[in-house]
Amino acid sequence: MAKRTLLYPGSFDPPTLGHYDIVKRGLKLADRVIVGVHGGSLSKRHWFSPEERIDLFESYFSPEESAKIELCVYDGLTADLAIEKEAQGILRGLRTASDFEFEFSMAAMNKHLAPGVETIFIRTDENLAHISSSLSKDVLRYRSVPGMVSELVANKIRERLEELGS
């Protein structure tokens, strides 16, 4: 039987426990999840290179999970990556009503670009709804708070803050 593949695209700068939760739940729906780390656009400045973001995301997975996950860097359109990887669906997480508005248009555009690919939304876990990469970076600047990112990722954020001199 053909393998079910979901593509989970995002910036993941850096990956949080919220992102990890979406991958775990995606694995309940598919045989394989491909994490597509978007290289970047002119409008977004990233703290971590795409390769660093891949390594950090990988550090969340158990060996059993890793066996079903592929990570790659891409530039360009998510819909084109979905076609190239023969994914049946694009996986996205929803936290807030404002996420929904953006995601709704994005899903419509991806359907236009790749009619055979469905967008699957997973609602955030209640306990993780407030977690984002940018807020984690903001908070860890001032306080060591667990439960947003892994300890390894928190350390990388602190290292980067020191390098940036802030």
Identify whether 44 is a catalytic site residue: yes
Question: In what order do the strands lie in the sheet containing 89-94?
Answer: 69-74, 32-38, 5-10, 89-94, 118-123
Q: Does 19 sit near ligand ADP (CB under 6 A)?
A: yes
CA angle in degrees (0–180, nearest 5) for 27-9-23: 20
- Which residue of 5, 110, 119, 124 would you call a contact of ligand ADP, by CB under 6 A? 124
Catalytic residue among 28, 43, 44, 62: 44
Q: Does 22 sit near ligand ADP (CB under 6 A)?
A: yes
Distance CA 118, CA 52 (A): 29
Distance CA 75, CA 28 (A): 27
- Which residue of 46, 92, 137, 156 would you call a contact of ligand ADP, by CB under 6 A? 92
Size of the site for ligand ADP (CB under 6 A): 16
- Which residue of 74, 93, 110, 140 would you call a contact of ligand ADP, by CB under 6 A? 93
> Which amino acid would we find at residue 72?
C
Identify whether 11 is a catalytic site residue: no
- Chain Cα centroid distance, residue 152: 17
Q: Is 52 helix (H, G, I), strand (E, B) or coil?
A: helix
Q: Does 118 sit near ligand ADP (CB under 6 A)?
A: no
Identify whether 19 is a catalytic site residue: yes
Distance CA 12, CA 99 (A): 15
Q: Does 85 sit near ligand ADP (CB under 6 A)?
A: no
Catalytic residue among 24, 95, 111, 158: 95
**Interface positions with ligand ADP (CB under 6 A):** 10-12, 16, 18-19, 22, 92-93, 95, 99, 124, 128, 131-133
